[in-house]
Structure 1
Amino acid sequence: MPEAKLFAFAYICARPVIGAMTSCVRVTGAVSGTEWEVLYDDNQEHLPCPDRFSLIDAPNGLRIEAVTPPREYRIDYSGYDGTEIHVDWKGIMDPWDIHDPKLNPLAGATEEEQYAASSMGSGYKGHFDMHGRVTGEITVRGKTYPIDSIDRMNHSWGPRPTLDIPSMNALWGSFGERFGFRLHCHLDLDKPTGEDQRLAHGYVLEDGKVFAVTDLKMTTTRVGIVPVTMSLEITVADGRYWSVHGQPVNGAPWRSYLTTVTWLGLYRWFLADEVGYGVAQEVRSFREETRRRGRAWSDKPAYITT
């Protein structure tokens, strides 16, 4: 909801083998480096896994129905403090399978190569992304906002061992239905800025046609955990490229897993004289960060607080 400077999302991670599911519904309204400043957060673990994934009716009030899969969905949520979501999702493209070589020339040929190429390892044993139109309304603590926007959703399946979730970037943007992009990147924060993000896979959606991204030059400026600017040069298979620059409208750290901290928020993107919106997500692994930043009681902190 760019006009209201709000960003809302619903997320689930189901583990059918153990019968448990995590679910998060969150609304952010300002740029922040702390979780305490989000407008709304309902992040619950150990919910019962649904009997079938075409209709998820969770005890936290989130209901997701695959109306006409894989492109049409209905999402309803009734939470606490007068917060509700009621939207319809309709894909404006076919799902983009990251492992289909007809769609993605960077796809690995073997399962091992697919895991290595993907930004989430085995967690993306199967994965698709899709731009679509979202219509309906959201009520945040009693105030209702209409929704009619172009956004993006994804669906992943595969083993996702929480200790091994890698640092990575996932970002996307939309300039109406005319143009959009979706990018996944490997993230290595031991490398200098401009070299720390490497393309894993992605696409450009232009005038109803989808083109695989084959090269990405990306620079991110961070203040603490907040990515305050991003500059992208996106190249597709036919050699065309687009220069896109972005800055956050809102966002905050999010704990999608106990072993990661993810900064996630609404981004305003600039493409020549056009302004679009989307989301920037930067996942940081605790295992990697404690190797990099962990200190004993006698070590001096690497920052100054006032």
Structure 2
Amino acid sequence: MIRPEDAQFHRPTSDDPLWSETNYFGLYAGQDTDRPMNIGVYGLFREPLGVLGSTVSINSRRVTMPWAADYWDAWQHLVVPQPSDLLDYSLANGLRVRCTQPNMVWDVDFSDAAAGLELHFRYTALMAPYDINDPAQDPMAAGRDLDLTWGHAYAGHFDQTGHYEGEIELRGVRTPIDCVSTMDHSWGVRAERQTSRLSWLHAHFSRDLVVHGLFDFSTAGGPDAPSALTMTHGYVLEKGQVFGLTGGGGTTDRTGFYPERVALSVVDSADRAWELTGTALTTFPWQSQPGVVGHNSLLRWEMDGRTGYGEAMDFVGLGELGEVYHRLHQAEVVARA
């Protein structure tokens, strides 16, 4: 069960210096226009080391290089402000985050005058935090395998859907922010080398209907092959009530590991089946930390005549990516011989 105090830093349960806490705010603007804008604001705090990494990304394009996006800013060695306070912090990169109601309301501001960027929004939760490690809340938590939930980095983790409202101005163009999307908070040991995969995705149809899920997948078929999704956690938010997912899966069609089309069929704790399909509007290679690539797509989702939006974030470690592309190169060499 997630409590109000879980919005704050946690006492490490390990002496591993890579103990970390994260906050991720993923949102979008202009989703009903010809320039849908995917926005990500992230902090990865390694408090035992006194440093943190922070990234801010804004992308309305199909890119495979982060610098080809509308905006990309990444810092890896910001100093954790002292006294450390995850409810109220300001960073040297221009990010200010205040949690005025723990696990319910966050105000986020980011300024980069040199790039002509002003980003300001309030996130207001539409549900209680969803604890993927609590069997009383998550039907998949009992007997879980941490290796299928992104390892011990997710030893403490919640996902939560809420309403984002604010404004972004980038290079003289102002766009209002008014969307339903999902944030998360994690705490645990986050290794530099990522050895498992994670597809973290969601579809937001309204304040009253959301499907969110975490999945594992295989890279064996290569970067352009469809891959089956194995569900590890998730929920349906319907009219303020949360139903944990109990089963199901799906398939992701890919180009260079970026999700192009995602088909899901999942079952919730009320024994209802939900079938939905998402199509990519954008692509972006988000590196939350140097050792992993999140193949990010903003998707337009369809379900029973409803249209929604949300991210698919498919994380693969650099070591595994290297092996995949090595096999691909070797196969091309053999084919040319």
- With structure 2 as the length reference, what TM-score do the two structures score? 0.83
Indicate which of 243, 250, 261 corresponds to 1:218. 250
RMSD over aligned CA atoms reads 2.3
Runs of 4 or more consecutive aligned structure 1 residues displaced over 4 Å after TM superposition: 191-195, 295-304
For 1:33 and 1:62, the matched residues in 2 are separated by: 25
Give the letter aligned to residue 271 of structure 2: G
For 1:6 and 1:49, the matched residues in 2 are separated by: 30
Q: Secondary structure at the match of 2:189?
A: coil
- The residue that corresponds to 1:55 in the other structure is 88
Matched, 1:237 2:269: yes
CA offset at residue 202 of structure 1?
A: 0.6
Tell me whether 99-108 or 187-196 shows the greater mean CA deviation. 187-196
Q: Secondary structure at the match of 1:31?
A: coil
Deviations 1:110-135 (A, max 9, x none): xxx452452x1100111011111111
- The residue that corresponds to 2:77 in the other structure is 46
Matched, 1:96 2:126: no
On the 8 A contact 1:213/1:235 being kept in 2, the answer is: yes
User: Judging changes above 3 Å, is the alpha-carbon distance between structure 1 residues 301 and 43 closer, same or farther for their aligned structure 2 residues?
Assistant: farther
Q: Secondary structure at the match of 1:123?
A: helix
- Over the matched positions of the two proteins, sequence identity in percent amounts to 28
- The 5 Å alignment of 1:255-270 reads 255-270=287-302
Give the letter aligned to residue 56 of structure 1: Y
Matched, 1:76 2:109: yes
On the 8 A contact 1:107/1:117 being kept in 2, the answer is: no
On the 8 A contact 1:263/1:283 being kept in 2, the answer is: yes
On the 8 A contact 1:62/1:76 being kept in 2, the answer is: yes
Give the letter aligned to residue 115 of structure 2: D
Matched, 1:288 2:294: no
CA offset at residue 108 of structure 1?
A: 3.6
User: Judging changes above 3 Å, is the alpha-carbon distance between structure 1 residues 285 and 264 closer, same or farther for their aligned structure 2 residues?
Assistant: same
CA offset at residue 216 of structure 1?
A: 2.0
For 1:302 and 1:23, the matched residues in 2 are separated by: 42
Q: Gaps (5+ residues) in structure 1?
A: none
User: Judging changes above 3 Å, is the alpha-carbon distance between structure 1 residues 240 and 303 closer, same or farther for their aligned structure 2 residues?
Assistant: farther
Deviations 1:212-267 (A, max 9, x none): 11112211111223211110001112221111001111121122222112111311
For 2:129 and 2:185, the matched residues in 1 are separated by: 9
Matched, 1:276 2:296: no
Give the letter aligned to residue 267 of structure 1: L
- The 5 Å alignment of 1:190-209 reads 190=220, 196-209=228-241
Question: Number of paired residues?
Answer: 300
Q: Secondary structure at the match of 1:294?
A: helix
- The residue that corresponds to 1:143 in the other structure is 173
- The residue that corresponds to 1:7 in the other structure is 38
Give the letter aligned to residue 85 of structure 2: R
On the 8 A contact 1:14/1:22 being kept in 2, the answer is: yes
- With structure 1 as the length reference, what TM-score do the two structures score? 0.91
Indicate which of 100, 106, 120 corresponds to 1:67. 100
